[in-house]
Amino acid sequence: MKERYDVVIIGGGIAGVSAALSCRNRGKTAAVIANGAETSSLYKAEKITNYPGVPSVSGKELSELLLRQLSDSGAELIRGRALSVIPLGDSFGVAVGSEFTSCLAVIIAAGITREKLYPGEGEFLGRGVSYCATCDGMLYRGKTVAVIGSGEEASRDADFLESIGCTVLRMTKPLRYEIRGGMKADAVLAGGEEHKVDGVFVIKDTVSVTKLVQGLAYADGAIVTDRQMRTNIPGVFAAGDCTGKPYQLARAAGEGNVAALSACEYIDNKKKEN
């Protein structure tokens, strides 16, 4: 996955799909990075009654409609978990698992991360804590690592780490975890019991929006934007629940459209400058 797009959209909910449709309508290439729809809170909603034009539909039905519309638009759907967005001068690199793609503008429409960071997770990120086993696993070959997570991805990552010679502590139980260390993470406290490790892999469905882009401004866990959905980083836009309350589908759809229009304008202006 090395293709360059005009816009990469992080999140396949209603804000992300709205952004992708608007980008495609403006003639821009677009890719949407998203986990499976069944992991989203929208998919699990029993009944939606306040979205204009779509009366009394289940979250599953609406999610399937969004996916079909996204596919028909010509936007590419990349299944996976966006780990980071890295500025590269006039473009951006987006890490998805062990893969990497580039784009001219980024729209973050990742919803809200309901899971709080474990104590020490943010402090030691990049210093013994990683979100991607296939990216960083070889650094710990022959060493002891902890994998915190109970889903299929966590199990696959633990299997991979064992296959390259790591001793893996699989921490799948819903305990209170704390990551400790000095210059780097070197221990995990799990339910009051300390385990010495050389590295820690935290595997969740999503990465907190506050960790996606270095230097991104946020308040109360939400990304700060202006009315054009521009963040404090030129070329990075945000829409939907990740920008704060109210968490409503109609608002998310509108913000996705605005973010896309702003991203397209940003790209057009950049091209004129060059």
The pLDDT value recorded for residue 48 is: 80
Two tokens, residue 187: 């221990």
pLDDT along the chain (274 residues), means of 10: 85 96 97 84 76 85 93 94 89 88 96 77 87 82 93 87 96 92 95 94 72 87 94 97 89 97 96 81
Q: Which residues of 66-81 are buried (b: 16+ CB within 10 A; e: fewer)?
A: bbeebeebebbebebb
- Pair type for strands 82-87 and 177-181: unpaired
**Residues ≥6 apart with Cβ < 8 Å to 98:** 132, 134, 135
What pTM was computed for the model? 0.75
Q: What is the DSSP string of 145-178?
A: EEEE--SHHHHHHHHHHHHTT-EEEEE-S---EE
Short-list 115, 117, 156, CA closest to 137: 156
